[in-house]
Amino acid sequence: MCKCPLACAPGNQLQNDALSVPIPFVTLREDTAVMPHDGRGGVLRTFLATASALAVAAHVTIVTSLKKKLTAAAREKARLQSILRVRETPRVKGMFEPIAYARSAFSRRNGTPRQGGALVPSARCEVKMEARLPRDLLEGLDEYSHAWVIYVFHANTNLTGTKSGGASKGKVSVPRLDGKRMGVLATRTPHRPIPIGLSVGTVECVDAKRGVVVIGGIDLVDGTPVLDIKPYVPFCDSIERSTAPNWVGREAIGQDEPLKIQRVEVAKEAETALSNSFNRSKSAAKLYSDVDEFVVFVKEVLSYDIRSIRERNAPAEKRKFDTYRVILCDVEVEYTISEDRNVDIIGARAVPREVFDDLERAKETLSNK
């Protein structure tokens, strides 16, 4: 007796639309598999089995490809987050709580100039006052051309998570001296017993209502806690007969300048990438009016060799990298440095926004501990 839910009259047939092959109904028995009554059903069964196998194979291929892409994306996200690693800002209470935080063109320590002022004049930093402070604190600051900024070196590697447990050192390797060691207090290193920085920059804009000051040419990393802002007063801040060692200056005197770059050029194939990355970066759009201004800033940063002392002095065959990267305004710029100290910018891309979103969540978690 046929157990098909349809009423099966003798001679009834189903028409296969794809093959146009009439398929006879099959008799179902509880103790046997479903078998066609003639050879044409066997052909169809073979076809369906083959199609099913192909569909499964295609599905596996698509899933495998998707998994590889997701894994690669996760790996790239982890790489960027390791570059922009979250470090706990030193806790300062009472009168030393930060009065503002910096939103800087320097997304991370690498690429940030070792001095403020004239080294990278196109650098921009928006310092936003804390909401708890009165806005008239900024009144009159726009009458000065320059200002001092006192801040915390919050991105120091020796603050947390180091082998020395954050202990300060007596001497540091000086990049301008190709690694020669000097006493910490005879240098401007950020790795100080108390990690406080002092930099000078140009007063570009003061918006007292918003509690925002835009400082130019200053060497603050994005997210820097600001402790104070003081106007630069020429008659007492500029000392006529002051002296310094020969290695301190825009370029070292009487010796080869180890950080000097001969030229910086943008490769033709990188122009579009720079433009597209600039348009995707909210940080870049906030600090620079167009991509041309941003490119000038990038060239100024790369006009000094920002590689580590070890990487800079190693023979070409022993260097870790063939190309280098720096993140500026949330844009990762890729470049090469030739043996004769010429820099070519060969690529750029905007850092995905979710990388910074995750960083903000991590910072919030740290602050709530």
- pLDDT, tens only, 269-279: 999 999 999 99
Distance from the Cα of residue 98 to its chain's centroid = 24
For 132-151, the pLDDT digits (tens) are 999 889 999 999 999 999 99
Strand partners, 181: 173
Q: And the tokens for 105? A: 């063109």
- Residue 37: DSSP 8-state: S
- Write down the pLDDT at residue 157: 64
Question: Is the CB of residue 227 less than 8 Å from the CB of residue 214?
Answer: no
Strand partners, 106: 221, 328
Residue ranges in the chain whose pLDDT is less than 70: 1-41, 81-95, 157-168, 250-256, 353-369
For the chain, the domains span 1-83, 87-156+195-242, 248-369
- Write down the pLDDT at residue 101: 93
d(CA 356, CA 134): 30
Question: Is the CB of residue 123 less than 8 Å from the CB of residue 250?
Answer: no
Q: And the tokens for 133? A: 């402070």
Specify the 3-state DSSP secondary structure of 197: strand
- Write down the pLDDT at residue 255: 55
**308-315 contacts, C-beta under 8 A, 24 or more apart:** 309/173, 309/175, 309/178, 309/179, 312/258, 313/178, 313/179
Which CATH class, in words, describes the domain spanning 248-369?
alpha beta
- Write down the pLDDT at residue 177: 80
Pairing of strands 263-266, 342-350: parallel
Element (H, E) at 347: strand 342-350
Residue from 97, 142, 125, 359 nearest 221 by CA? 125
d(CA 157, CA 166): 8
pTM: 0.69
Name the fold adopted by 87-156+195-242: Elongation Factor Tu (Ef-tu); domain 3 (2.40.30)
Question: Is the CB of residue 181 less than 8 Å from the CB of residue 172?
Answer: yes
Q: How many helices (H) and strands (E) does the chain have?
A: 7, 14
Question: Is the CB of residue 261 less than 8 Å from the CB of residue 341?
Answer: yes
The residue to which tokens 């709530």 are assigned: 368
Q: And the tokens for 234? A: 């020429």
